[in-house]
Structure 1
Amino acid sequence: MSDDAERLFTGLTCRIAAQDSEGRCAIGNWFSDPLTRPGWSNDRGEDRHKKQLQGYGHRWTFQWNGLSYVEDVAASLTASPVGVFDAIARDAGDHFEVRLGDATLRLYGRRAPLQQESGVTR
């Protein structure tokens, strides 16, 4: 794993319970939505717990089926003041990409309901 990729994963781990004070994003420990947005919070399906991480060196992909919303994860890594310094996110259509130096972390997860804006620009 490259140093920049390690910084992104460390940032992700450290922000697992992050919640923006202005209510724009929240990770909720990967099992809840602290912002109580409408949607599938009560989904009790088994595949809501599936998570997969793949990659090598500076290219990684993280995919999951349940909470947290993909916009919230990208924002927790990039939004001021809680984000990883110099990390940037972009919406790539079917996923988000977070970049830091030579590292790219592709995030595939469910989208937040449109009524609530996240800290990442679409």
Structure 2
Amino acid sequence: MSEDAERLLAGLTCRIAAQDAEGRWAMGNWFSDPLRRPGWLGDRGEDRYEKQLQGSGDQWVLRWNGFPYVEDVTASLTASPIGVSGAIARDTGTHFEVRLGSATLRLNAQRAPVQQESEGAS
């Protein structure tokens, strides 16, 4: 594992319960949404708790079902002042990537679309 990759992966564990002071994102210990945002995550029974980290050297992939939202993981690694110094994020349209130096952490979250409340609902 490269030093840059080690810093990114360590960043995940160090921020497991992190929450933005302005309420924009929260990690929720990887099992809940402390911000109680509308919407839902794909419920695949026990599979919703599946998490898998694979990689070597500078290339790593993290896949998971359930919480946290992929945008929250990305923010926890890149947002000032809590982010990993020098880390940058990119939304590819199908997944997010966080890069640090020569290392890339690909984030693949299995999430259902956010359910929109219908207008005029009581």
TM-score, normalised relative to structure 1: 0.87
Q: Which residue in the other structure is 1:119 paired with?
A: none
1:47 partnered with 2:47: yes
Backbone CA RMSD of aligned residues: 2.1
- Asked if the contact 1:28/1:34 (under 8 Å) is kept, the reply is yes
Counterpart in the other structure of 1:120? none
Aligned position for 2:68 = 68
Q: Decide whether the 8 Å contact of 1:62 with 1:106 is kept in 2.
A: yes
The 1-side partners of 2:72 and 2:37 are apart by: 12
Question: CA–CA distance in 2 between the matches of 1:112 and 1:22?
Answer: 24
Unaligned runs of at least 5 residues, structure 1: 116-122
In structure 1, the partner of 2:120 is: none
Shift of the 13–112 alpha-carbon distance from structure 1 to 2, 3 Å rule, reads farther
Aligned to 1:98: 98
CA shift in 2, pair 1:111/1:78, >3 Å:
farther
CA distance in 1, matches of 2:84, 2:115: 25
Q: 1:46 deviation in Å?
A: 1.0
The one-letter code matched in structure 2 to 1:54 is: Q
Q: Corresponding residue for 2:10?
A: 10
Is 1:8–1:84's contact at 8 Å kept on the other side of the alignment?
A: yes
Aligned to 2:119: none
Q: What percentage of residue pairs aligned between the two structures are identical? A: 73
Supply the AA of the counterpart residue of 1:100.
L
Residue 44 of structure 1: CA displacement? 7.9
**Which deviations, in whole Å up to 9, do the C-alpha atoms of 1:18-45 show, x marking residues without a partner?**
000111111100000000011226x582
CA distance in 2: counterparts of 1:37 and 1:44, whole angstroms: 20
What is the aligned residue count? 115
CA distance in 1, matches of 2:25, 2:112: 12
